[in-house]
Amino acid sequence: MKYSGRGAVAPLPLLFTLLFAAAFRVCRSDFPRIGRRAPAAPPRGSVILPLSGNVYPLGYYSVSLNVGRPAKVYELDVDTGSDLTWLQCDAPCTGCTKPRDQLYKPKNNLVHCEDPLCSAISISGAEPCKNPDDQCDYEVEYADKGSSLGVLVYDYFAFQLTNNTRLSPQLTFGCSYNLDTPSPTAPPPTAGILGLGNGKASIITQLYRLGMIRNVLGHCLSTKGGGFLFFGDDPIPSSNVLWVPMSPTLLAKHYASGPAELLNRQKPGNVKGLQVIFDSGSSYSYFNSKAYGAILNQLTGDLNGKPLKNATEEKSLPVCWKGTKPFNSVNDVKAQFKPLVLSFANNVEYKIPPEAYLIVTKGGNVCLGILNGTEVGLADFNIIGDISMQNKMVIYDNERQQIGWVSADCSHLPNWASQAGEEADYPYHEDL
């Protein structure tokens, strides 16, 4: 979840993904059950959607989707760390930030307890439904202690594939009528969350089960802001992608791999066995105390003798530096820092260049966009957040159970000249 800690003034941004999430059903018999249309034959193609937003100062990337008939546009935070998609609901809605005319209004389209997706969002020990026709309510609690409570509904989503096929499947999502955002900073002006985890309730899983796309998704976040999101495997280049297997963890429904080793200046170090979660629901990256300490030691050593001093007066992030004059962008200072490297099995490396772990604040200081996850309750888990996935296409292949990445110019959408019989122009290059 992306509310707490987002924005420029948060002293300690927290994680906004669905870690340690809780979900349960509360059942009432208020609405009749409505049947769903059978899925059509699966078309060939992928969905590519432009993204808005940035790591700083907004703190989130979002996508606009057309939902309902007649279609209405909703802007949603993109979150690969949670499953359930939800919109702020005209129910009435407690804690909503949108005016009433921008809230989602259900129209006798509630999901009932007999629906398998109702069970998919429940946890062991949840109160069972008394009747199969009872509506299916949910509650999800996020790692920053924010929460969304509402009822499951289904409605039409409009997509266009890369082969120009138009899809309008009925998908299940949450209509949230109670939002709790504990952060003192203002929440982002989005209508909800687009959950893209690998659980049954995820939009990507639903589209796959309807036979509409391959069970593959990915994103490309630009350091310039924006980027693109895709469902299906068309945008994936045929070469240069580095792949690691997804690993089962104690946290279900997350895109994780490991064990990984944090290299010390490109050489083996003493931080090994890291389980790493790739999560677009987190603005920044988080490492456990040992790895975080090693990163600080590396950076401190690399900066020895360079004209940077600690900027203790900067409150945007815990660790910041200032120069002899204010910086305008990361480009002004990145030459004084070195890449960080995670090494996975078979020496597959995930390289994090300075522009993927630094931000320059409004005050002209440079800050470390990697935080101590142990201090914010993440125990031993490690998170690759938005900042460290910039200028990479990151791919989640649920069919082959693998995660891939390749350096990319994420400021441009793929050129789909291949639809006219020509070779597609992919803006990717080898991950140097």
List, as own/partner pairs, every contact residues 70-76 make where C-beta atoms lie below 8 angstroms and the sequence separation is at least 24, other chains included.
71/156, 71/158, 72/104, 74/104, 74/191, 74/192, 75/189, 75/190, 75/191, 76/190, 76/191, 76/192, 76/193, 76/194
Distance CA 167, CA 47 (A): 10
Residue 216 contacts by C-beta under 8 Å, 6 or more apart in sequence?
Answer: 231, 232, 233, 236, 395, 396, 397, 398, 399
Q: Which of 134, 279, 386, 397 is catalytic?
A: 279
The residue type at 209? R
Task: Give the three-class secondary structure for 70.
Answer: coil
Q: Which of 79, 144, 155, 397 is catalytic?
A: 79
Q: Which helix or strand (DSSP H or E) is residue 286 part of?
A: strand 285-287
Is the C-alpha dihedral spanning 53, 407, 241, 344 positive or negative? Answer: negative
Catalytic status, residue 279: yes
Q: Which helix or strand (DSSP H or E) is residue 138 part of?
A: strand 135-141
Catalytic status, residue 431: no
The residue type at 138? Y
Q: Which residues are known to be catalytic?
A: 79, 279
